[in-house]
Structure 1
Amino acid sequence: MSTWQPTPALKAARLARGAGQHILLVAAEPILTELLSTTLELAGYRISLTPSGTDALAQVVSRRIDLVVYDTDIPDQADFGRDRRPELPYRPPVLLLTECDSLPRLVPELGLGKRDYVTKPFRVAEVLARIQVLLRDTRPGPSRSDPMHYGDLVLDDTVCRVRRGARPLDLTPAEYRLLRHLLVNAHRVLSKEQIGRYVWGDHRCDNAIEQLVSRLRRKVDRETPVLIHTRRGFGYWLGRADSAN
């Protein structure tokens, strides 16, 4: 049985948009993860993914996270006890995705920051609106303006500029969005359908995506190592070939 009610991603994204805040999505269900990660990226957020509550706590401790979206049905939910509450310099707000009959146990043991919840099945527009409210009173963190990078490839969202080593890359808006999507999902193969939804907000023919990837490669991969790769029959990924699993 599905735990969410799909709403067109672009329509939802127009209702409440982010400004590059870093959201950690903690969910194990593949369909739910795909729906929310795509929608949140379209809405202007930076996304990290994990299906594990234990890993989520480790990420919150080790890096700046502006907000956590947390599905209370993850398998290791029971691992959270009050004795495992992390010591954090910053406690991000948490949006809980929970079944209606689970409201009495909204994981107070997490010990993070301000909390809100939406009950499943939920509307994507409601999730975006609750996220915006939770973030409204949080001050900008330093990581929000930190450039993203992979090796000598650096993408700076604050000025929408990219460089490879000392060489600036002159990218079109579509090329920039594609590179950003690949960079955020480094070492993860993205299908043509995923790329089309993120770059243009709708489905595009395979030829249009192939041409876009080809143009981006010519700009990014003048130097070695080559960073943009094709997984034939599956899609494209960014990273060093010798680092692939």
Structure 2
Amino acid sequence: MAHLLVIEDDDRIRSLVLRSLRELGHAVDSAANGMSGLNAVVDSRPDLVVLDLGLPDVDGTQVLAMIRAVSAVPVIIASARDDDPSLVSALDAGADDYVVKPYTTAQLEARIRAVLRRTQGDAEQRQQVEVGGLRIDVRGRIASLDGAPLDLSPREFDLLLHLAENAGAVVTKKELLTQVWQQPWGGSEKTVDVHLSWLRRKLGETADAPRYLTTVRGVGVRLAAPAE
């Protein structure tokens, strides 16, 4: 069974959902407002979050954005209407699925099972990332290039992994600060530049003579396999 977090301000609904999910064998935590829910995501690291959009302190779509800045935890949105514009915004912002109020426990449980199946399958596929001669063992936190191990610091490994998982796409420095340094509310892009310089050196290349890491001026950096 899963460790779930329910963020819902309605006491009656929250109590009913908690009792029903616990009866199904899940471990369930809860929060009555957005900021408490965000803190619970960081502190308790749930397997999945059920997030109400109509929260008293912070709009649910904003809570989702803050969750996404610090965690990839799957999120199921609870909405009053399936044509609610904020629901569309939430799905665009990274929500994994939604249920419409009033929903039954069976409906919510089915959504939870489907999302966890999908996301856990993605996690299994992420055990190894390959780009050209670059090999990254995600669980073992080991990287190699053309069969030779790379001596990377923890931050360099996280940086390389994020770029490799987005191979071929241009990743902005702001995204790197958010996803790798977990600084969604600001940070020095110079820090990113320094770590990219160190990473290039360990990959045996320079900014002027790139192989894997190419700077896209004014936009960000792209990792891709060298052209044959």
In structure 2, C-alpha distance between the alignment counterparts of 1:225 and 1:174, rounded to whole Å: 21
* Residue of structure 2 equivalent to 1:219: 202
TM-score, normalization by structure 2: 0.51
**Counterpart in the other structure of 2:53:** none
Equivalent runs, 1:1-245 vs 2, <5 Å: 11=39, 13-15=41-43, 17=45, 39-40=67-68, 42-43=70-71, 95=76, 97=77, 100-102=80-82, 117-118=98-99, 135=116, 143-144=124-125, 146-202=127-183, 203-222=186-205, 226-240=211-225, 242=227
Percent of matched pairs sharing the same residue: 29
CA contact (8 A) 1:153 1:165 kept: yes
| Counterpart-to-counterpart distance in 2, 1:9 and 1:236 | 33
Answer with 1 or 2: which has the greater Rg. 2
Aligned residues: 156
Q: CA RMSD in A?
A: 4.6
After superposition, the C-alpha distances for 1:48-77 in whole angstroms (9 at most, x for unaligned) are xxxxxxxxxxxxxxxxxxx8x7xxxxxxxx
Which protein has greater RCO, CA pairs closer than 8 Å, 6+ apart? Answer: 1
Unaligned runs of 5+ in 1: 1-5, 20-31, 46-66, 70-94, 104-114, 121-129
Q: Is the 8 A contact 1:100 1:119 kept in 2?
A: yes
**Superposed displacement of residue 191, structure 1:** 1.2
| Residue deviations 1:126-175 (CA, integer Å, cap 9, x gap) | xxxx9699539x98789346311111111111111111121101111111
Bigger shift: residues 201-210 or 219-228: 219-228
Letter in 2 for 1:226: R
Q: Specify whether residues 134 and 188 from structure 1 end up closer, same or farther in structure 2 by C-alpha distance, changes over 3 A only.
A: closer
Give the Å deviation of 1:17. 3.5
Deviation at 1:181, TM superposition (A): 1.0
Q: 1:117 to 1:229 in 2, by over 3 A?
A: same
